[in-house]
Amino acid sequence: MRRSRLAVIGGTGLGRLEGLVIEEEQNVVTPYGLPSGPLLHGRLDGVPVTFLTRHGPGHTIPPHRINYRANVWALREHAADTVLAVAAVGGIAPEPPPGGLCVPDQIIDYTWGRAQTFHDDFGAGIVHVDFTRPYCERLRRWLLEAAAAEGIAVRPDGTYAAVQGPRLETAAEIDRFERDGCHIIGMTGMPEAGLAREAGLCYATLAVCANPAAGRGPAEITLAEIDATLARGMKAVGRVLRRLVSRFAVD
């Protein structure tokens, strides 16, 4: 197995990585159980890349049941030191619009009951990690430069509200998140980002706005609308990603 420098976690709307020539499918057992699926090691435009689908093959694992610890541990141990997380989100602020992209720079965790640390058995003592800047600034910068090179508009910052799911939010909840300073909302941002920081990974999120959040759009949110918007947004993600991998061309 050839270890990649870059791994991609695919969220809703990105069940496979277009153009990835798969060289090995690796099933991993971790100290925290099974990841969402096999690690797919291959090449994208000739560059080694590893892909993991967050919700599992066939998109069967809901956000609150994802084994985030197993996913992050598997990527750290068997794949890469840099992880790009692609995520579908709702838009609280006007930007990004539906189908648009955002590279958030902050996150607020509203989830509960999820295993959120590798250090909860206290065997090595209590461990704290700095989370002031929750995303890797180097990878964020590279994403923004890749989008600019492709002529793709992207919101260069923003606060991600990580919520429990799997239901969508009420309009009152969205009003609260807006008062808290959030710009986008999703169900998978935490504990994934925190675990990546504990694991020492360079981790950033490329978010695709699937729909206006509750109370922000002209009509009720439907899954058909979300799917159609994501299909458009993921095409832009693919272009950004193929531009990004050139950074990893020289090993």
Q: For the domain that residue 30 is a member of, what is the CATH number?
A: 3.40.50.1580
Residue 251 DSSP SS3: coil
Q: Is residue 1 one of the residues assigned to a domain?
A: no
Q: What is the pLDDT of residue 250?
A: 60
pTM: 0.93
Handedness of CA 86, 89, 93, 99 (dihedral sign): positive
Structural domain harbouring 56: 6-248
61 near 180, Cβ under 8 Å? no
Q: Give one DSSP letter per residue of 121-168, joined into a string.
A: S-TT-------SS-S-HHHHHHHHHHHHHTT--EE---EEEE---SSP
* Mean pLDDT (whole number) for 104-126: 89
pLDDT at 3 over 70: no
* Contact (Cβ atoms closer than 8 angstroms) between residue 141 and residue 147: no
Please give the pLDDT value at position 1.
46
Statement: residue 237 has pLDDT above 60: yes
Q: Can you tell me the mean pLDDT for 213-238? A: 85
**Overall average pLDDT of the 190-215 stretch:** 96
Euclidean distance between the first and final Cα of the chain, in Å?
Answer: 15
Distance CA 66, CA 53 (A): 11
pLDDT of 124 higher than 80: no
Task: Provide φ and ψ at 115, rounded to 5°.
Answer: -65, 115
The per-residue pLDDT for 79 is 78
Average predicted confidence (pLDDT) for the chain: 92
pLDDT at position 122, please?
Answer: 67
Tokens of 114: 């999820």
Which tens digits make up the pLDDT trace of 48-89? 999 999 999 988 999 999 999 999 999 999 978 999 999 999
Count the domains in the chain. 1
Q: Tokens standing for 14?
A: 């990105």
